[in-house]
């Protein structure tokens, strides 16, 4: 038996095994695949036509072409990134497979890394068709943003993983009764992250809270780029710094919730 | 008056539960307590299980069997007390032993949409099994899975699913196998078949098996030793023959009823 030899450190083999598990699942179910593409496509079409309509009647939006569509795509990276992470986690709860995994040599960090990888895969399946629709229907080339897009993407995906780790911990501790948090948590951030409007429109006291959220910097940065044609590196650095703190905190909270679940015997059931 | 807990559990040393007079223990539990709010699910139990033995945990619903096994596996943290598995403290040193043990339980399932082969491939990789394809073929042959190796787990019968769960539990050829109701909801033929396979596995691999069961015939047939639990405590602990003799009964089922209904060895007919 070779298992004993591989118990130290993080194992790429175990991470690969978990990614393979989710890949098998995705490939075995066309509704799961369709769902990944359906909602982003619906979003971009709806908001794209709305942007076209507004641009015909408002000089500002005619000038700042693409801010709405760009915001929709970046929001979807944030939202779908978290869903991609959390749904893979929920699949284990729905399948009552968590006990098998927790009893195996798989470590929590390896489990979370595999969920992050699946989040990227699911995001790619959903968002790439979305960007192509934006290009062909609305003449908005998302990838023309260029290098700043990497900074936007990295910051948003880190936030989505942090939220994903946090809500997965809540479900782990409280069972599937807490499942609705997975679907709704990100929408709680939406008004404060200023996805579709500048931070300046918020009341002063709310702006303080908005600036505590990493995605706020990304959406402000996107508007600066598309409207003023300026890349605000300072905003990206702030976002990254806050993301680092939030990511570390969410991981620590996940471990604490896992420990609490073991204290309360939640891993044996996983139901409501 | 309760039947006294037998020598094995009384010899648990205070500082090193894994080291006992019978040599190294596969499992050593010392003064284990689990409280859920005000309920004492497990109430100060101690026992050692020798390497290569088959031990049955017997008890009615709520006796604490599943919680005890879950604490041994590290899925539930004890309120107090110590657990050592294969010489390592659980859950602190679980990384040292999880690859050398495995389990089957009705409280968990294998992913339903994945085929049997896909499930075994994933768990084989998680346990770093060498020559995995060969191992899967061998298990398929041993456990009669070949006809449905490429069928989704969710489309199997209860008996087939149990055999697949057993294949998963044996994928890494564990030194220690923990089984919670291994034949629950199986027809007598399939249940007998599973017991036969467990006996073979124990013999060929010198493995240690701890199983929780309500099936007294199963325990009589498989186990060298029986630990009877009631309300979180150990009521009796000995070989099946010794326990039946002490209660003056011919079957463990009768002993189980005596214990469940509060009749103790001295007063049982």
pLDDT of A33 above 90: no
Tell whether B154 is within 8 A of chain A (Cβ): no
Cis omega (within 30 of 0) for bond into B235: no
pLDDT of amino acid B9: 38
Report how far residue A249's alpha carbon sits from residue A154's, in angstroms, rounded to the nearest whole number.
18
Global pTM reads: 0.87
Tell whether B268 is within 8 A of chain A (Cβ): no
Give CA separation, B191 vs A79, A131, B187, B256, in Å.
Answer: 48, 56, 6, 20
The predicted-structure confidence for B165-213, as pLDDT tens digits, reads as follows: 999 999 999 999 999 888 877 788 888 888 888 999 999 999 999 999 8
- Note whether residue A4 is domain-resident: no
Burial level of B269, CB count in 10 A (0-12/13-18/19+)? exposed
- Note whether residue B265 is domain-resident: no
- Note whether residue B200 is domain-resident: yes
The predicted-structure confidence for B91-101, as pLDDT tens digits, reads as follows: 889 999 999 99
- Domain coverage including residue A28: 12-269
- Note whether residue A6 is domain-resident: no
- Note whether residue A5 is domain-resident: no
Please report residues of B whose CB lies closer than 8 A to that of A90: none
Task: Tell me what the mean pLDDT of segment A44-54 comes to.
Answer: 84
- Domain coverage including residue B54: 7-260
pLDDT of A170 above 50: yes
- What total of structural domains would you count in chain B? 1
The predicted-structure confidence for B220-250, as pLDDT tens digits, reads as follows: 889 999 999 999 999 999 999 999 898 888 8
Question: Could you tell me the pLDDT band of residue B48, with boundaries at 50, 70 and 90?
Answer: very high
Please report residues of B whose CB lies closer than 8 A to that of A28: 113-114, 152
Contact A45, A39 (CB under 8 A): no
Contact B122, A99 (CB under 8 A): no
Segment of A154-163, B30-39, B244-253 carrying the highest mean pLDDT: A154-163
- Note whether residue B268 is domain-resident: no
Scanning B26-85 for CB atoms below 8 A from A yields: 36, 66-67, 70, 73-77
Does the distance separating the beta carbons of B125 and A262 come in below 8 Å? no
Task: Tell me what the mean pLDDT of segment B3-13 comes to.
Answer: 38
Q: What is the ipTM of this complex?
A: 0.86
pLDDT of amino acid A29: 84
Does the distance separating the beta carbons of B127 and A105 come in below 8 Å? yes
pLDDT of B11 above 80: no
Among partner residues A5, A6, A262, which is closest to B76 by beta-carbon distance? A262
Decide: helix, strand or coil at residue B91: coil
Tell whether A120 is within 8 A of chain B (Cβ): no
Q: Give the residue from B39, B75, B92 with the most A CB atoms within 10 Å of its CB, the best one to mutate.
A: B75
Scanning A251-270 for CB atoms below 8 A from B yields: 259, 262-265, 267-269
Strands B208-213 and B176-180: parallel
- Note whether residue A2 is domain-resident: no
Q: Give the residue from A1, A2, A3 with the most B CB atoms within 10 Å of its CB, the best one to mutate.
A: A3
Q: Nearest CA to CA, how far is A263 from chain B (Å)? A: 5
Does the distance separating the beta carbons of A20 and B123 come in below 8 Å? no
The predicted-structure confidence for A106-130, as pLDDT tens digits, reads as follows: 999 999 999 999 999 999 998 899 8
> What share of chain B has pLDDT > 70, as a percent?
89
Closest residue in B to A269 (Cα–Cα): B107
Among candidate residues B179, B177, B180, B218, the one with its CA nearest the CA of residue B201: B177
pLDDT of B2 above 70: no
The token pair at B185 is 């909801």
- What total of structural domains would you count in chain A? 1
Report how far residue A98's alpha carbon sits from residue A94's, in angstroms, rounded to the nearest whole number.
9
Handedness of CA B143, B191, B199, B94 (dihedral sign): positive
Report how far residue B120's alpha carbon sits from residue B135's, in angstroms, rounded to the nearest whole number.
9
- Residues B103, B106, B110, B111: what is their CA dihedral angle, to the nearest 10 degrees? -150
Higher-confidence position of B266 and B113: B113
The predicted-structure confidence for B121-170, as pLDDT tens digits, reads as follows: 999 999 999 999 999 999 999 888 999 999 999 999 988 898 899 999 99
Give CA separation, A58 vs A61, A65, A138, A225, in Å.
Answer: 6, 11, 17, 20
pLDDT of A3 above 70: no
Tell whether B122 is within 8 A of chain A (Cβ): yes
What is the CATH number for B217?
3.40.50.300
- Note whether residue B62 is domain-resident: yes
Q: Nearest CA to CA, how far is A114 from chain B (Å)? A: 12
Q: What are phi and psi of B260, to 5 degrees?
A: -60, -35
- Note whether residue A195 is domain-resident: yes
């Amino acid at each position: 038996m070779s298992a004993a030899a591989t118990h130290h450190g993080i194992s790429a083999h175990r991470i690969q095994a978990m990614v393979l598990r989710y890949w098998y699942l995705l490939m075995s179910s066309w509704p799961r695949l369709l769902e990944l593409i359906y909602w982003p496509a619906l979003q971009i079409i709806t908001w794209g036509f709305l942007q076209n309509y507004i641009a015909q009647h408002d000089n500002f939006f005619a000038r700042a072409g693409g801010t709405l569509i760009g915001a929709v795509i970046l929001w979807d990276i944030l939202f779908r990134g978290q869903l991609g992470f959390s749904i893979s986690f929920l699949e284990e709860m729905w399948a009552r497979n968590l006990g098998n995994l927790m009893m195996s040599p798989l470590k929590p960090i390896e489990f979370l890394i595999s969920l992050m990888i699946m989040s990227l895969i699911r995001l790619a399946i959903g968002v790439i068709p979305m960007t192509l629709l934006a290009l062909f229907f609305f003449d908005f080339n998302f990838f023309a943003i260029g290098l700043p897009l990497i900074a936007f993407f990295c910051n948003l995906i880190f936030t989505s993983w942090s939220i994903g780790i946090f809500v997965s911990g809540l479900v782990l501790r409280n069972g599937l009764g807490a499942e609705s948090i997975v679907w709704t948590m990100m929408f709680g951030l939406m008004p404060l992250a200023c996805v579709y409007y500048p931070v300046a429109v918020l009341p002063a006291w709310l702006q303080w809270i908005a600036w505590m959220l990493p995605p706020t910097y990304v959406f402000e940065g996107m508007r600066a780029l598309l409207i003023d044609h300026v890349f605000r590196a300072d905003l990206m650095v702030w976002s990254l710094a806050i993301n680092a703190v939030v990511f570390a905190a969410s991981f620590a909270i996940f471990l604490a919730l896992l420990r609490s679940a073991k204290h309360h015997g939640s891993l044996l059931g996983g139901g409501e | 008056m309760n039947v006294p807990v037998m020598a094995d559990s009384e010899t648990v040393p205070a500082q090193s539960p894994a080291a006992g007079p019978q040599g190294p223990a596969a499992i050593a539990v010392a003064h284990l307590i689990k409280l859920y709010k005000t309920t004492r699910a497990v109430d100060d139990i101690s026992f050692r299980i020798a390497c290569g033995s088959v031990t049955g945990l017997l008890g009615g619903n709520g006796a604490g069997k599943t919680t005890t096994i879950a604490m041994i596996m590290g899925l539930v943290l004890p309120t107090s007390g110590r657990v050592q598995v294969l010489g390592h403290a659980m859950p602190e040193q679980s990384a040292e032993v999880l690859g050398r043990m495995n389990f089957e339980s009705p409280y968990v399932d294998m992913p339903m949409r994945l085929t049997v082969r896909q499930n075994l491939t994933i768990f084989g990789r998680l346990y770093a099994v060498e020559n995995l394809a060969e191992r899967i073929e061998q298990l398929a042959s041993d456990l009669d899975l070949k006809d449905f190796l490429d069928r989704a787990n969710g489309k199997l019968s209860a008996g087939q699913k149990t055999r697949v769960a057993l294949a998963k539990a044996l994928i890494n050829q564990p030194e220690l196998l923990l089984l919670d109701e291994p034949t629950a909801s199986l027809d007598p033929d399939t249940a007998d078949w599973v017991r036969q396979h467990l006996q073979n596995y124990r013999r060929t691999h010198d493995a240690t098996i701890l199983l929780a069961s309500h099936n007294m015939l199963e325990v009589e047939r498989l186990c060298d030793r029986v630990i009877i639990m009631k309300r979180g405590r150990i009521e009796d602990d000995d070989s099946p023959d010794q326990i039946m003799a002490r209660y003056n009964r011919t079957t463990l089922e009768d002993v189980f009823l005596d214990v469940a209904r509060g009749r103790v060895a001295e007063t049982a007919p």
